[in-house]
Amino acid sequence: MDGDNPSNDSNNCVGRFPSPSLTPLEKYLAKERDDKRVLSIQSHVVSGFVGNKCAVFPLQLHGFEVDSINSVQFSNHTLYPNVRGQLLDERDLADLFEGIRLADLTSKYSHILTGYCGDASFLRQIAAIIRECRRHRPGLVYVCDPVMGDNGKYYNAMSRELCAIYRDEILPLADVITPNAFELSELSGFAITNEADCLRAIAHFHRVQKVRIVVMTSGLADESKASSRSTMYCYASETLPLTPSIATGDADDVRLRQFRFEIPLIAGTFVGTGDLFAALLLAWLEESDGDLCHAVKATIASMQSVIGRTSDFAFAEGIATDAVQIGPPQTKSKGNKLCPTP
């Protein structure tokens, strides 16, 4: 729908997300995407599923060639009591990308996907990489998951330092961003307590950073229900071309189409959900020829299927669901990522 009122039920994309009409799983498995190659820059863990371990496999299932650069390399995700590994900095990233440039690959990337970064200089170098790749391929699509924190707090002191870099240097380069409610608030400077706050913050990114698509992935509960913990909202927004009849000449003038999606919550804390969401959204935006409503519905349906299987797996194994990594093992949930069901 157009404007800032996602409660208008005249649009089929509002309300509970139905399962989109999808072609059979076998057709997705056979799909190849000529000239579609993703450079994914985010975290890596030896054991578990976060960062590139969550993103690369689903993208490959959807027919993309994927090259990955690890911003950090850890033994396991950071909710474990003990973690070992390395953080890459600007020099490490520049060296890796120089190899990519010398191999004449910079024009091959149709998409860049970024997630968690553990160093400020590393994040700044990402901006240089995006500009360089766009110089060789102007139509490159950049999907940015501005990973900084969740549930009202930053993950660490470095994540707080990254906020200004994201706001001033990274988001103006992005076509699509996928912040959660906390990240949306920190990056926009607006408190997010209700739907109106959320929509105002989203509009800010369209007007100020000129981001084409904003999807707030999680964090806003339904306050109208007796048990707000059972339902969560996802908001998606995109800019539309201005027509002469509504254009004012103001540089900040934008026309928006916005959607609200109601998501039943599955009890537990699941690590890697944002990483998987961003990768699937990239895939479904391509699959749907840019149809944002369809892409978000399919992404949510996939996420619900994967999280549901993860919850069932944890219960069967007697694992507490206070910090469960996305699973079960990726190969067991490939159908959920490709052809989701309600």
225-280 residue pLDDT tens: 544 468 889 999 999 987 654 554 455 678 999 999 999 888 777 788 899 999 99
> What are the residue ranges spanned by the domains of the chain?
28-243+251-338
The answer to whether 280 and 58 are in contact (CB under 8 A) is yes
3-state secondary structure at position 74: strand
How many residues make up the chain in this entry?
A: 342
d(CA 274, CA 257): 23
The answer to whether 141 and 176 are in contact (CB under 8 A) is yes
The tokens describing 334, both together, are 């490939």
Residue type, 131: R
CATH of domain 28-243+251-338: 3.40.1190.20
176-208 residue pLDDT tens: 999 999 999 999 999 999 999 999 999 999 999
- Residue 87: what pLDDT? 85
The tokens describing 171, both together, are 């988001």
pTM as predicted: 0.84
3-state secondary structure at position 95: helix
- Residue 17: what pLDDT? 45
- Residue 20: what pLDDT? 53
- How is residue 242 annotated by DSSP? P
The bridge status of strand 141-144 relative to strand 176-177 is parallel
The answer to whether 166 and 179 are in contact (CB under 8 A) is no
3-state secondary structure at position 8: coil
Question: Locate tokens 């698509």: which residue?
Answer: 213
Low-confidence ranges of the chain (pLDDT < 70): 1-30, 222-229, 243-252, 313-342
d(CA 284, CA 207): 25
- How is residue 2 annotated by DSSP? B
3-state secondary structure at position 239: strand
